[in-house]
Amino acid sequence: MNVMMIAPGYPDEMPLFVRGLALEGAAVIGVGDQPEGDVPPLAKQHLAAYVRVPSLQDEDGVVKAATQWAKGKKIDRVICLWEPGVLLAARLREELGTGGMTVEECLPFRSKDLMKEKVAAAGIRIPKYKSAKSAAGVRAAAKKIGFPIIIKPIAGAGSMDTYRADNAAELKTAISKMGHIDEVNVEEFIDGEEYTYDTICIDGKIVYTNIGYYRPRPLAGRSQEWISPQTLCLRDLDLPHLAGGHQMGHAVLKALQFKTGFTHMEWYRKSNGEVVFGEIAARPAGARTVDLMNFVSDIDLFRGYAEAEVHGRFTANVERKYNTANVFKRAEGTGRIQRIEGLDRLRARYGPHIVHVDLLPIGAARRNWVQTLLSDGYVCVRHPDLQTTMDIADAVGTDLHLYAG
């Protein structure tokens, strides 16, 4: 099977998906705007070919270059597991006649307006919302919905460029930061715990499920530099308070007619037990969350996804053994990493429950913590007991320090 994959080298997880596809027997044709020499070695090792395009932002140019390259060749699948390229992949499918989800079917996964319309039409609870294309429109929407509100790009990904406003002064500040965005959603702020519902599907049937949890909520984690945000994957998916998330996840996928691949949904559970839809993407969760899912069951979902995509089956043993958590660290100070303190003590204390460490090395420049959840690195922990997992994660958050200068 010839699989054309947009952006095989970015984000960081993509080379692992290239590897998974190749191991499942696919010939992977990468389409990207990186020079071929800059493609990460793991991706390059498993690519059958690479089509260099000037810019992935130029959809017409990408479609033209990729279709010209594919002339006379058989392309069986076109995929993109990177949010901005979901519609581009659909356009290429239509141009190449490969089948799979069309542009029309993918639009609700990129337009938060259309997404909410379809989900609400299926009787699923969504936040009150209104789209806006100007500062005046944002203010009018806020007045209609009432504070507190959330403002987010209509085609955004994750919590980037997302702001909460509890009053007119905070709204003014949020508007001042969003001048580079053409259209936004202004929506009701849902006061509750925030979860994920992640799936791999084959022809509309869910074959793998994961539920994750944020500590604290992503918006809070993005607003204070001192916080070490955590993402968790839960061992026990049958807990009573998660039942509403399962039901909603199934209903949303049915309403949006998702077919084959990874999905990542976010949902809220209020203190009164009500569940509210957040949003959904036709791609895997980012920030190394697929690694977290792997550590739950000691499996390889990069290859499991590829098996579903290439062969239409999913055979991984998904016995859930552990709760897992990624703890993202932000260095203190500016400039380059000078020293790391506390890691050896944490390893001595928790031993095998610290399963992966990926921190920036000494001498590396700090990352912009506002632009990437990965920040200056992360530590992955796991334990069969949820509270113990959170206690270990909290210890990493408080006792591990990176210093920059």
pLDDT of residue 159: 55
Q: Categorize the per-residue pLDDT at 160 as very low, low, confident or very high, splitting at 50, 70 and 90.
A: low
Q: What is the pLDDT of residues 50-76, one digit of tens each?
A: 999 999 999 999 999 999 999 999 999
The SS3 call for residue 329 is coil
Q: What is the pLDDT of residues 325-384, one digit of tens each?
A: 999 999 999 999 999 999 999 999 999 999 999 999 999 999 999 888 899 999 999 999
Q: Is the distance from CB of 162 to CB of 315 less than 8 angstroms?
A: no
Nearest Cα to Cα of residue 375 among 222, 219, 217, 264: 222
pLDDT of residue 107: 96
Which of these CATH numbers, 3.40.120.10, 3.40.50.920, 3.40.50.20, 3.20.20.100, describes 2-100? 3.40.50.20
pLDDT of residue 181: 75
The domain locations on the chain are 2-100, 104-121+191-312, 128-188, 322-405
pLDDT of residue 266: 96
Q: Is the distance from CB of 220 to CB of 160 less than 8 angstroms?
A: no
- Report percent pLDDT > 70 for the chain: 98
Determine the residue type at 313. R
Q: Do domains 2-100 and 128-188 have the same CATH topology?
A: no
Q: What is the pLDDT of residues 91-137, one digit of tens each?
A: 999 999 998 999 999 999 998 889 999 999 999 999 998 888 888 89
pLDDT of residue 156: 58
| Averaged pLDDT for residues 192-206 | 97
pLDDT of residue 174: 87
- Report percent pLDDT > 90 for the chain: 85
Sheet bearing 149-153, strands edge to edge: 129-132, 184-188, 149-153, 163-165
| CA 342 centroid distance within chain | 29
| Averaged pLDDT for residues 24-49 | 97
Distance CA 55, CA 31 (A): 10
Supply the pTM of this predicted model: 0.91
In sequence order, the 6+-apart residues with CB closer than 8 A to the CB of 157 are 83, 84, 281, 286
Nearest Cα to Cα of residue 25 among 49, 51, 46: 46
- pLDDT surpassing 60 at residue 158: no
pLDDT of residue 131: 86
148 upstream amide cis, omega within 30 of 0: yes
Tokens for 258?
Answer: 């998702």
Distance CA 232, CA 243 (A): 18
Distance CA 329, CA 396 (A): 9
Burial class (CB in 10 A: 0-12, 13-18, 19+), 119: buried
- pLDDT surpassing 90 at residue 89: yes
CATH class of the domain comprising 128-188: alpha beta
DSSP calls for 305-349:
HHHHHHHS----------EEEEEE---BSSSBEEEEESHHHHHHH
Question: Bridge-partner residues for 47, per DSSP?
Answer: 28
| CA 212 centroid distance within chain | 12
Cα dihedral: 362, 365, 369, 375 (round 10): -40
The CB-side HSE value for 241 (13 A sphere, CA atoms) comes to 12
Distance CA 76, CA 99 (A): 8
Distance CA 63, CA 48 (A): 19
Q: To the nearest whole number, what is the mean pLDDT of the chain?
A: 94
pLDDT of residue 157: 57
| Plot region of 32 (φ>0 → left; ψ -120 to 50 → alpha; else → beta) | beta
CA angle in degrees (0–180, nearest 5) for 350-343-345: 55
The CATH-assigned architecture of domain 104-121+191-312 is 2-Layer Sandwich (3.30)
